[in-house]
Amino acid sequence: MGAQIRADLWGYISPGIPRIAAEYAYRDASLLHTKNGIYEEMFVAAIISATFVLKDVYEVVEVGLSAVSRKSRLAEAIRETID
Task: Tell me what pLDDT residue 4 has.
Answer: 82
Task: Tell me what pLDDT residue 2 has.
Answer: 74
User: Residue 10: which residues within 8 A CB-CB, separation 6 or more?
Assistant: 21, 22, 24, 25, 28, 41, 45, 48, 49
Task: Tell me what pLDDT residue 49 has.
Answer: 99
Question: Is pLDDT at 1 greater than 90 in this prediction?
Answer: no
- Structural domain boundaries enclosing 15: 2-82
Name the domain count of the chain. 1
DSSP string, 2-52: GGGGGHHHHHHTSTT-HHHHHHHHHHHHTTT--HHHHHHHHHHHHHHHHTT
> From the centroid of its chain, how far is CA 55?
17
Predicted structure pTM score: 0.94
